[in-house]
Structure 1
């Protein structure tokens, strides 16, 4: 007996030595793969780029792995218990390796010949996810075990669990549980219920198999099993268990939901930062805070949307997407399948016309429901003929659609759904804070997902008369006044820079004779602008216009410059208008306010050139050059670059006052609906109506709107800057200016108001009844005149402002 025991002891000892030798040999093989303590503590997650508005609303996210890291303290207890119940109920009691689990896995391998389960603890899963591949080999498994044992020595249980919660893949590109909460429920972790915690806790085992969106029935079984385990382990009581298992599956594919739609902005930021960071941009966890105001961005989105659709409906209905009479009585599945052949606008729906009556149509929507569409939802749909004409207005439903038609519908407050069509026309809007150039809202087109071309920054189009204020400011700066008279009469120019003799005209071919500059600008008279530039000279004017930020090399070196024939972007135009808005200072548009790294440290802070109205200049500073000044921000006194003055304050105010007349009496009269006396602006329409513009401002904000076709087709008869773009500007500025006090451009005290003859622009005779008031710089006041005879029969006027032009005068221009 003793001999037998001795033999068994020796065999056991040899076995133990052999096992130890094997373990040592394996350790020697894998030791180079075991991370050091420093490497474990330096673990960094791949975190996507996130872009926010200045008021911390999410705009966009870029990165293959959707992840929102959370600390252990932020992990809800119910979620922690659900994960432990599902993956590793002994987590807080084992040293990183569960021996029984490994023995169970080994038994399965021996009996089946295949690795069926790894017997992995949460620690082992963290080791595999952070340091190893997912190949199923013995060597990888041994490496995983050694890393897990070391990890338990170097990190606390809470640190290991935190790594697991943030790293594990949970389907739909979601890495980590907070990302899964957003993807499947559109919420953060703290907002989920017990049933939802159990649902996402079931995902690590097999994210595709137990996905609550793709396989809700299988996911439900897994969820309820986890809840049962939690009850058995004493993690929840029976009441909580019962309520949770009875809860319905509410998961959907939310993706990562932006708080505000600003896709063109997000892409601008991504593109700019990629030049610096490359592919690391999508994994480094940078957080970008832009200058965008979330409310104004939403208002801009809605204004452009409404403006484009209003234009589209004005020009008629281009017809249905298709007619499929075979689908009228087809199965619901076949009807819905037919919709997949067509693209649509986000939040719109496709519909199949099932039947029609005179006053309504019954249609099948994409979601399978049938609704009645009233005639009021389609009474706009006169047949489209071309951009200049449409057919007769419909009188009954059958004039618009017949059974079998597949149509587009958009949401409508009055009729629930409204007949629609994907617009071909485009529009863009850019709004700047004129005090420092911060971009507060930007819309680059009607639908980013259909066309990512950003018309605010990438499209170069002719601004037409929208450019004239820069020409006129050059004239005022060089001795002309608002009362200077230019003869609006036929003229022929033989310019060596032009291909042939040029005869500029006004809209309709009319000429109005001697015209004061103020009138010429608010009426947008072309001939006056051309004659004015001819008198000043193209080269000196180009040199002057450079101060607004325009590159003279990008501008035409001939008289067509006066009519806005340059190719410029809306951003360039809006940037130029900030000078008029802020009192004569040049600021640079900027979009990124600051950038934080994954730890919340600021790695970039914008220092925009700022108009020095509320700052204290440092001693010895020249205001005419961009330099430093002390600026009082809410967070304290900071040092910022001071914007240089590029336009004399007196000239600037006179230009502002003239452009206020554009809205009072001229081409921007529609904006009077805002009932704001502080706003000014200018329309612009190019030759043949290919581009329609409106740029307007007060003392704080500048907004430019452009409308046109990408292929440069004409917008059609009656479509001008004042009809195609100004309504969009109004619809944006109405909420922007609501509840704000008037913000006027500051008027220099050195300006003088003088009574003038409205016909000649000269100083009025004493007692002249039709005299009007005009602003002048002291050195440019017209000479005093002495009446030698009674004034002729003249219209009496007590007004101190310009009289509105007669109704028969064409006030929009071709260029």
Structure 2
């Protein structure tokens, strides 16, 4: 056998012997430890489950907006941003290995070389003085055991470390360790520390910064750089020396890291943006997951929301304008507000305000948790939509507006004003009370409640009366519920339960919640459009007219609930929308009493409308606003306005209807009117002539009996025709002497038959005219 082969075999033998000896030593130590644990009566390690370390580790929860961008990181008692090992640079990992456990990847939980001497000394002293803990032991100590300095604790720690190494890989243990340990300044884990001290992710740390963070762990109170920078730098240099000694870094890397200037960018405050929206998300998440608030805050969840950050910011800025709110009460208390914004197509909650100022976590959110009487803002939902959908009413259906008693219930109009016969459109636009109650009585409370319930409006068992038409609820509705009930008007007839959540992912990356709510049809597209058309009239000329914005078409309904006999008010509402967004605004006091109420001049059409207008103006400051388009089942028709308003008849405009007597209205194909108004066709005046008399021009023509004629004059055909007289025809020749004409001037005279005494020349049917230019001699 060759000599080199003999040497190789001897080397191999020595290695095997060395390994066998080491294994035997480990077995011996383990046996000794086991016996000591048994003799000491320690059984805690026997029931220890290493999985609890990962399970019970507090992890911060992250919130994301609708674009997938993180907007909040929230924590329980420990602020910890968990990070995977692969996202921690190798040199940062190396720093901890060099200082805390250089043989980490070689031992099986305890470092025999380091522990033998330390254990002997500790046994002699009867306490734990010598350090020799591996990273596995430190992980046990930081996560599971109380920091008692006695031998029994140390022995238990060792046995637990064996079990830990048996369950987890080395990389998994190192990852848990780097996320478990405390770095001072409220930061748990290396990612949190990087964010806290340098406002960057652990993946972005330099070698010098990573070594400095590693140095903190030994004693955060002594080595935290924001407290003792000199100590921190001294400790950093020691860490770098150990890294160089263990050949983790080169001399060149060491020199560069030691000379690097450390600049702190402290970020110790936990941000809590968009307070009311964040509160709502957390409450909804705990409900959907069936866990406590503490479990959510410490579970490392990633919560994806429907928040529109731009819109939320715009809403919060709008609410900061005190001019958009009523004056404070006599004792200085501010009137409060609640605002909800929903995506009209999906029902997702885009932005929300639960009050004028968010001062504490999980404070009262008036938008989601406060129920108040909605006043007339409920009419479209409770009365008009079901009347159109189920009872065949149209925008031009006529209702009699006069005082009426409904089995002892006598509703009143605002200001006790009554209009007689009015169209459904005007009932909506002017928010007239009595016709609304009459209509609810006709379609039945039960049927109306059935529809309102389908769009999320809640009812108390006592809510059985006609007063529901005017918002007379026992407990009322929340702004969120009222806002959502208008969704079918905005999106073609569909309702979907509103939500702030999209999905939730747990700390293990598993999707534990996904929003699966579905929209369903509650109104026909025709009724949806006709409702929006009528509610646009409220903005055009009705109670919501203060909301009107140029180039931003809106539909809206106001509501006001009365507080006392002096017509002071309790609640003021407005719900406004277009095909993109639905916005509900409420104003009032949390507790309405003799000191805290809205003056009678404050209604839904005043401050709530002003705030909502300001908000919509911000939304569409840099983009165009959409308008509603009629569905295929709805046709536009030009109606005779005089027949509609004076004769209460729905008639199409005819060939001879004057242009300013035409109004456009919408109908379903089934309800389209066919009849046109009858007009007496006027014939032009016959034998029209103008001659020059002694006192000026004389106009003469043959007239029809009873027909009014307008006589006008235009200077030389250049200026605007001027009315000079009106004559009622006698059935024969009529004359008119124009005494006002200037001598030696040239005029163009016209004689136009009119449909009535009050009509203007543009109302002529037909617009027949005769022209004559007299020549002066």
Distance 1:798 1:430, change over 3 A: farther
Partner SS, residue 606 of structure 2: helix
Give 1:744's aligned residue: 628
Query: Aligned partners of 2:440 and 2:762: how far apart in 1?
Result: 34
Residue 210 of structure 1: CA displacement?
4.3
1: CA distance, partners of 2:757 / 2:444: 39
CA change 1:92–1:602 in 2 (3 A) is closer
Of the candidates 537, 555, 576, which is equivalent to residue 696 of structure 1? 576
Which of 532, 537, 552 matches 1:656?
532
Is the contact made by 2:92 and 2:210 (CA closer than 8 Å) also made in structure 1?
Answer: yes
- Which one of the candidate residues 230, 240, 258 is aligned to 1:230? 240
The one of 568, 571, 585 equivalent to 2:494 is: 585
Pair 1:715 & 2:598 matched: yes
Matches within 5 A, 1:263-412: 263-273=278-288, 275=290, 280-303=295-318, 305-307=319-321, 309-311=322-324, 315=327
Q: Residues 40 and 661 (structure 1 numbering): CA distance in 2 closer, same or farther, change over 3 Å?
A: closer
The farther-off stretch of 135-144 and 598-607 is 598-607
2:65 match: 53
* Aligned equivalent of 1:137, options 132, 146, 150: 150
Aligned to 1:505: 413
1:441 is displaced (CA, Å) by: 2.2
Counterpart-to-counterpart distance in 1, 2:239 and 2:259: 13
Shift of 1:589: 1.9
Distance 1:749 1:43, change over 3 A: closer
TM, length-normalised to structure 1: 0.68
Q: CA deviation at 1:161?
A: 2.1
Structure label with greater radius of gyration: 2
Q: Deviations over 1:463-492 (max 9, x none)?
A: 222112121223333233222333444x15
SS in 2 for 1:226: helix
| Conserved? CA contact 2:456–2:484, under 8 Å | yes
1:521-536 alignment, distance < 5 Å: 521-536=428-443
Q: 1:424 aligns with which of 314, 323, 334?
A: 334
Is 2:664 the partner of 1:773? yes
The offset of 1:167, in angstroms, is 1.5
Describe the SS at the equivalent of 1:447. coil
* 1:763 correspondence with 2:763: no
Contact 2:502 2:514 in 1 (8 A): yes
The separation in 1 between residues aligned to 2:89 and 2:283, in whole angstroms, is 37
Kindly state the Cα deviation for residue 79 of structure 1 after the two structures are TM-superposed: 2.9
* Residue of structure 2 equivalent to 1:627: none
1:557 equivalent in alignment to 2:464: yes
Mark the CA change 1:87 to 1:504 in structure 2 (over 3 Å): closer, same or farther. same
How far apart are 1:220 and its partner, in Å?
4.3
CA contact (8 A) 2:299 2:506 kept: yes
Provide structure 2 residue ranges, at least 5 long, that are not aligned to the other structure: 1-25, 563-567, 682-754, 764-777
| 1:596 alignment counterpart | 505
CA contact (8 A) 1:264 1:444 kept: no
Aligned to 2:515: 606
Matched, 1:682 2:699: no
450, 469, 476: which one aligns with 2:380: 469
Deviating more after overlay: 710-719 vs 253-262: 253-262
Quick check: 1:243 aligned with 2:127? no
In the alignment, does 2:456 pair up with 1:444? Answer: no
Inter-partner Cα distance in structure 1 for 2:534 and 2:28:
98
CA contact (8 A) 1:82 1:227 kept: no
Q: Does structure 1 conserve the Cα–Cα contact (< 8 Å) formed by 2:208 and 2:257?
A: no
Q: Does 1:456 align with 2:367?
A: yes
Q: Secondary structure at the match of 1:298?
A: helix
Cα contact 1:698–1:745 (8 A) shared by 2: no
CA, structure 1 residues 168+755, in 2 after alignment: closer, same or farther (shift >3 Å)? same
Secondary structure of 1:139's aligned partner: helix
Q: Is the 8 A contact 2:61 2:75 kept in 1?
A: yes
Name structure 1 gaps, 5 residues minimum: 1-15, 317-383, 388-422, 611-642, 800-815
**Inter-partner Cα distance in structure 2 for 1:192 and 1:794:** 86
How many residue pairs get matched?
A: 635
Q: Say whether the 8 Å CA contact 1:758–1:771 is kept in structure 2.
A: no
Is contact 1:437-1:588 (8 Å) kept? yes
Query: What is the CA-CA distance between 1:459 and the residue it aligns to?
Result: 0.7
- Does the 8 A contact of 1:58 with 1:260 survive in 2? no
Q: Deviations over 1:206-246 (max 9, x none)?
A: 34454555xx13x54134322344146434433432233xx
Match of 1:623 in 2: none
Kept in 2: contact 1:86–1:226 (CA 8 A): no
Please give the alpha-carbon distance, in whole angstroms, between the structure 2 residues aligned to 1:194 and 1:81: 10
Question: For 1:681-740, what per-residue CA distance to the aligned partner results, in whole angstroms no more than 9, with x for missing partners?
Answer: 222222233222221222233221222211133233543223322233234334545535
Structure 2 counterpart SS, 1:262? helix
2:372 aligned with 1:485: no
Query: In the TM superposition, what is the alpha-carbon distance from 1:138 to its structure 2 partner?
Result: 0.3
Residues 256 and 650 (structure 1), Cα distance of their counterparts in 2 relative to 1, 3 Å cut: closer
2:549 aligned to which of 656, 669, 673: 673
Provide the residue aligned with 2:217 in structure 1. 204
Pair 67,143 (structure 1): closer, same or farther in 2 beyond 3 Å: same
Query: For 1:588 and 1:172, how far apart are their aligned partners in 2?
Result: 42
Q: 1:278 to 1:671 in 2, by over 3 A?
A: closer
The TM-score with structure 2 as length reference comes to 0.71
Q: Is the 2:127–2:151 contact (alpha carbons within 8 Å) kept by the matching residues of 1? A: no
Gap change, CA 1:74 and 1:539, over 3 Å in 2? closer
Q: CA deviation at 1:96?
A: 4.7
Q: Structure 1 residue 461: deviation in Å?
A: 0.9
- The CA deviation at 1:657 is 0.8
SS at match of 1:457: helix
Distance 1:577 1:654 in 2: 13
Does the CA contact (< 8 Å) of 2:644 and 2:650 recur in 1? Answer: no
Aligned with 1:237: secondary structure?
helix
Aligned-partner SS, 2:231? helix
Partner of residue 179 from structure 1, selected from 192, 197, 202: 192
Change (3 A) 1:708 1:197: farther
| Bigger relative contact order, structure 1 or 2 (CA pairs below 8 A, ≥6 apart) | 1
For residue 777 of structure 1, report the CA deviation from its aligned partner: 2.6
SS at match of 1:515: strand
